[in-house]
Chain A
Amino acid sequence: AQSVTQLDSQVPVFEEAPVELRCNYSSSVSVYLFWYVQYPNQGLQLLLKYLSGSTLVKGINGFEAEFNKSQTSFHLRKPSVHISDTAEYFCAVVRLGGGNKLTFGTGTQLKVEL
Chain B
Amino acid sequence: DTEVTQTPKHLVMGMTNKKSLKCEQHMGHRAMYWYKQKAKKPPELMFVYSYEKLSINESVPSRFSPECPNSSLLNLHLHALQPEDSALYLCASSQAGTVAYEQYFGPGTRLTVT
List residues of chain A with CB under 8 Å of any chain B CB: 32, 34, 36, 41-46, 49, 51, 90, 94, 96-102, 104-107
Contact = CB atoms under 8 A, between A and B. Distances in A.
A100 B90 contact: no
B105 interface: yes
User: Could you tell me the dominant secondary structure of chain A's interface residues?
Assistant: loop
Interface of B: 4, 6, 31, 33, 40-43, 45, 48, 50, 55-56, 90, 92, 94, 96-98, 100-108, 110
A102 B101 CA distance: 10
B98 A99 contact: yes
Contacts of A51: 100
Nearest to B2: A46
Contacts of B98: 97-99
